[in-house]
Amino acid sequence: MVGMNDLILTDEEQDLLAGVEGPGVRRAMEIVVALARIYGAADLIPVKHVQIAGVSYKNLGDAGVEFLSRWAAEGARVRVPVTLNPMGMERGKWQSWGIQPGFATPQLSVIDAFEAMGVTPTMSCTPYLFPGFKPQRGDALAWAESSAVAFANSVIGARSNREGGPSAVAAGIVGRTARYGYHLDENRGANWLVEVRTPLKSVADFGALSYTVGKAVGSGVPWFADLAESLPPLPGDMTLGGPAGDRLKTLGAGLAAYGAVAVYHIADYTPEARDAGPELIRPGAKRLVIDSLEDAYRVMDADPDLRKIDLVTIGCPHASLSEIQQVAEVLRGKHLKTRLWVTTGQITRERAAELGYVQIIEAAGGEVVADTCAVVAPMRMLDVRTMATNAGKMACYAPMHSGVKMRFGDVEQCLDAAVTGEWRN
């Protein structure tokens, strides 16, 4: 072991930093060590799983494609399971969608570079829904998808900071991350006490709650005092989704999008809150009381005069099996007048197809879309200018990143717009 300005590296880590395994691994180790120094980490910890974000060519541009391709050509290979966030299109559908080769070709080069590094091309923001990738309580992770970080830390009790794109890739290549932030007990305590005094009935309500809380607490750690009353019990098998997981998925995504929350606790419900109880609330925690979600809906349903919707999108974060089932049940025997995307991961879509849900949605004229979402796909190229969603994060990001006008409401309202061809209040 060698100390470097208080950072302790093992002999093996020293070798990686010295380039014993080649320039690609050295570059990765330099990134991890630089972050460790910036954040004052004492040492590095092995990670069980890495989730890479920022995969779309829309975000990366040519410089990002070149950087990743060079890294792969230098021989860098991942040494732990590593999965990918959504990219800018679905692999088998981009031509029929009208995506130009000028976008598709560099996008496919990005995936080629990751696959050359040994990354599993899941192209989904919900690795915790996939058998084989769902983390366990206490696992150290290096995840870059902020919604997944909130879910893993809060609902599962695993540990991850909000990694950046390159730092997650680097963590996958060296199998380690710096021990700081949410890997440490002292940073996981709550510094906001949130009381919710209004009923929460839908995924959209949890999205609206995420707006209100995220805006107030920023990067804080909220403790929800009474939210367990609005949630069914957490299922044993989280990979199937279900009403509890679907609500918490959207809550964490919105808290991370409207604020920068990476961990939250729900009294008597989430694992660390169940074990530690109110001791998890730090002295001096601020208090936030929420009596109504009206203001949140007013802001998130940003274009109240909008009736004509180009695309209804469900599945942000990517839809679980239970969400796809819910859409299929509503659409059975119906014919859509508006384009519908239910966005999900390939793995979930395959399971949904086995159960017949995909076929029902497609028979109605909708698409169960894998690999991408309406934020990271080039929506202008797809001629989409107006959208409707039940997801808080989508309502936040799509207007910013895809330049669309947006309606926000519960899933029944969104599907009604898809069936009737217009948003009806």
Binding site for ligand F3S (CB under 6 A): 85-86, 125, 147, 253, 316-318, 343, 373, 375-376, 393-394, 397
Q: How far is the CB of 372 from ligand F3S (least distance, A)?
A: 8
Q: How far is the CB of 316 from ligand F3S (least distance, A)?
A: 3
Q: How many CA atoms lie within 13 A of 402 on its CB side?
A: 26
| Cα–Cα distance for residue pair 104/84, rounded to 1 Å | 17
CB-nearer residue toward ligand F3S: 123 or 244: 123
CB-nearer residue toward ligand F3S: 270 or 343: 343
Work out the burial of residue 425: count CB atoms within 10 Å of its CB; fewer than 13 is exposed, 13-18 middle, 19 or more buried: exposed
CB-nearer residue toward ligand F3S: 72 or 342: 342
Q: How far is CA 112 from CA 40, 92, 127, in A?
A: 35, 15, 20
CB-nearer residue toward ligand F3S: 122 or 167: 122
CB 209 within 8 A of CB 252: no
Q: How far is the CB of 345 from ligand F3S (least distance, A)?
A: 10
Q: How far is the CB of 147 from ligand F3S (least distance, A)?
A: 4
Q: How far is the CB of 118 from ligand F3S (least distance, A)?
A: 22
Q: How far is the CB of 85 from ligand F3S (least distance, A)?
A: 6
Amino acid symbol at 111: I
| Cα–Cα distance for residue pair 296/392, rounded to 1 Å | 10
Q: How long is the chain?
A: 425
CB-nearer residue toward ligand F3S: 28 or 387: 387
Between strands 44-46 and 176-178, the pairing is antiparallel
Phi-psi region of 268 (alpha: psi -120 to 50; beta: other; left: phi over 0): left
Q: How far is the CB of 257 from ligand F3S (least distance, A)?
A: 8
